[in-house]
Structure 1
Amino acid sequence: MCGRFAADLDYSSLAEHYGAQQAPGLPKPSWNISPGSAIALVAQDRHGRRHLHTARWNLVPSWSDSDQMAYPTHNARVESALTKRTYADSARSQRSIIPASGYYEWTPDHQPYYFQAPDGHTLNIAGLYSWWRARPGQPWLLTATILTTQATPEAARVHDRMPMLITDENLESWLNPGMDGRTILPKAVEPGRHASEELIMHPVAPLKGDGPELTKDMALNQSVKRSQIFK
């Protein structure tokens, strides 16, 4: 699972990197983003235009009667996203990238660890999105979930699940709504679909408040292979 992540992002650079139009009012930097918070999301429309937009981190499917689901929807397992009613429509054609500086996972004894790229570059976390509104004529709400996958062996020392990460080389197919998720998502669970790049993980203090100090290393760094849907 992924219950917290950090996003200290340069939106102008990200918009250029993703080839996306930057929407106004994007979230302020945070190192303790929790479910229900406003997050930045990159998605592509049916005309091929990419957008860097604000979304709420808790997916609400378009058919829901309320924007408050009776169960958590901030994470979706990639193995079952296509068959779960909540996520199925989004998994087929509404895939996104949730850019992050890093993310946190907890051991069974509640010790948090922070995961990030060795060079500090932005992580392309795989996400799904959905537009929801209460009734016709009301404003639309953009919502999102993070896709999780089985942790790599090193990451599993902390937790058995981890966010699914997308390589820059595979952004085009991942974001393209014309590419059917029934073809793309099954590749994520095939054995050996891992990139060689490593993430750095280290223990951090219990998450309280907000600020870059939350990501401070408490011990020697360890590394974990980065999980991807494609090689």
Structure 2
Amino acid sequence: MNVRYKDNNYAKNNYTPFHSSSLAEKTFLKHAEENPLDLILQTTWRLLRVYPDGLRQDSSNLDPVISWNFGIQMAALNYQTDDDMVALCYGKFRDNGCCGYILKPDYLINAQKTKFNPWDCPSNFDEPLILKITIISGQFLPRSHAESKDIPDPYVKVSIHGLSYDQHTEKTQFIENNGFNPIWDETFEFRIRYPQMALIYFTVLDYDPMSDDDRLAYFSAPVTMIQQ
């Protein structure tokens, strides 16, 4: 049953685990900024959902990573828009056999004890990770559009999405007119304080100096799934 969102004390006295609440994007951010622990505590015993703001007339999406950082179980997206936010959602739930259910980190589950705050938290809740990624090459990259006759000028963007401390992006040089077998051979290093909360997102783009770069391919996954 869906009910109006209230503070945790009210919810504990009046709601049960069968009661869920849906928050508009701006409402969620307001509560997350004003009382983050209260919001997280509610996700330890009942379901919360965040959905895109009604002003998104273009069907753009909110960043679901922010919701997940606060333990929100359901981040609704406009799936008709195949953007980076949807790609991150695919990556988030790639773990656990893509069944749609994943376990939260202990510091989110036991928030009453840890007092975890995604905006300002110490570094001793998780085991920091130094991740080195080498982008070697690509093969048979598609053109940006089926009707396009332009040969891609591809480059790879690698980004970490998670807590604000870990957000970081690197990108290779673009290879001019080579979608067949571009070779980059570039290495990047990421220092990740909260790997259990982090996603890695690979995007192959077609460089265009005159307009937005077109996305040719992408892949996203939890950092904890990466094997050496």
TM-score (norm 2): 0.28
Structure number with the higher strand fraction is 1
Higher Rg of the two aligned structures = 2
Tell me the TM-score normalised to structure 1 length. 0.28
Identify the structure with bigger relative contact order (alpha carbons < 8 Å, sequence gap 6+).
Answer: 1
